[in-house]
Amino acid sequence: MAMFPHERSLVKKLEGRPFVLLGVNGDPKEGLKEKNEKQGITWRSFQNERGGEKGSISTEFNLRGWPTLYLIDHKGVIRHKWLGGPPESVLDPAIEKLVKEAEEELGKKGTP
Amino acid sequence: MRLFVTSLLLLGLLAPGWALDDPPKKDEPPAKEEKKSPADEFKAIQAELSETQAALRTKYMATTDDKEKQKLLQENAAAMKELAGRCLKLAEANANDPIAADVLIFAGSRMQSQEAFKALADGFASKADLAALNAKLGRMRFFNAEPLCAKVVERVARQTDHPQALDLLIWVSNSAEYTPGSPAGKKAGELLFEKFIESEKLGAYCKSLANSRDAKSLERAEAIAEKSPHAKVKAAAVFAVAGINKNLSEARDLKEERRKELEGKAEAAYDRLLKEFAEADKALAQQAKGALNELRYLSIGKTIIDVAGPDLDDKEFKISDYRGKVILLDFWAHW
């Protein structure tokens, strides 16, 4: 809840760079669209409750609390994990470092 | 599941300190006296708290403005302080009525009033016998009730052979679980360990150990796992050994070698639980499975499992669709 403004600005700040914010949303579906619009939540999210055999993503992840954040590098490796929202002073440099790594690798390959 | 947002706690959206089985209040007799009876005043305070919090909660959910939210939280804190003050006065004026303890317990658990816990420590917890203490406190679980916990431990320490001593010590260790470094919790742990290591009830203590992250707790959990004659207690102790190692491995800024070592220890303990004690405590075995899954496939340095599912528009996608980009995967909700 307290994190929304910062998440909005992260998405904006890193536009055009190799970064994406993906969510796993734990809310009931009812009224969710309106709430998201109101809060300016534009990033893509999974529905936590997938139903059927797959069950919920939070169970699959053995989640112990909301929010929990995983920071994953461009190769798909988990590099950081935070139980509870990390302060901006921790989150931002961690993301910046990985985005730079991704950009350097992209640069080497010669892809623009 | 624990919610990390403390503001919700403050707004009473979660009330973990609440009585587990608050007895339903009997119908009030038509009160005609001019002065309210203590029971009526208590009821009035309870009703006022519910109304105030419901109103603030509605406003809180409706606003998107962070400043407004802060303001509402402050209003909530002020209202709680005021009501807690009334509880203290009520308890003081009726110090010899059993209702005094109930009122203070209410103020402590629902309004996080430290004064109420202090008053309980000096009054009820100093005077009542251990059986009465256990009857009233045993069904509650508190946060930040250090003064009260300290008094209870002090009393139990003087009569550890009392039939309620064990239950009260377990109550203290559970209530102190979320007060880091609580001296009362520490003392209760010591007594449990010294006097009751063979008790069948020690599993409840082990479960509170599982959330800690210090060397002493780890040492105790290991010793209980070895010495307890009860399979179910052993299971809980092994689970605690695993949990503490896992908690330690999640510390920020840990050297990679050390982290891997701790993760390995946690994994080994969960494995042992599943192999040796899965039958002794099935629910715990389920939790161990989840934790093991997390350690093996979801710890730092591992490649993320490819989660797939519908997005909020019911369109299927998967994490690997975004490979090549840095991904911040955020488990979030409005609440």
pLDDT per residue over B304-324, tens digit each? 989 899 999 999 999 999 999
Res B28 pLDDT > 60:
no
Nearest-Cα distance to chain A for B276, in Å, is 22
Q: What's the whole-number mean pLDDT along residues A36-48?
A: 90
CA atoms within 13 A on the CB side of B258: 9
A1 at B interface, C-beta within 8 A: yes
A106: tokens are 């992209």
B45: tokens are 């305070």
Output the pLDDT for position B154.
96
Nearest-Cα distance to chain B for A48, in Å, is 8
Output the pLDDT for position B293.
85
Q: What's the whole-number mean pLDDT along residues A44-50?
A: 93
Contact B305, B297 (CB under 8 A): yes
Res B20 pLDDT > 60:
no
Res B126 pLDDT > 90:
yes
Number of cross-chain residue pairs from A and B with Cβ atoms under 8 Å apart: 183
- For A81-97, the pLDDT digits (tens) are 998 888 888 999 999 99
Q: Which of residues 15-54 of A touch B (CB under 8 A)?
A: 18-27, 29, 32-33, 35-36, 38-39, 44-48, 50, 54
Res B229 pLDDT > 50:
yes
Query: In the structure, what pLDDT confidence band is assigned to residue B17 with cuts at 50, 70 and 90?
Result: very low
Chain A residue nearest residue B318, CA to CA: A46
Alpha-carbon gap, residue B108 to B43, rounded angstroms: 16
Nearest-Cα distance to chain A for B61, in Å, is 10
β-strands A65-66, A45-47 pairing: unpaired
Peptide bond into A67 cis (omega under 30): yes
Query: In the structure, what pLDDT confidence band is assigned to residue B135 with cuts at 50, 70 and 90?
Result: very high
- For B188-224, the pLDDT digits (tens) are 999 999 999 999 999 989 988 898 888 889 999 999 9
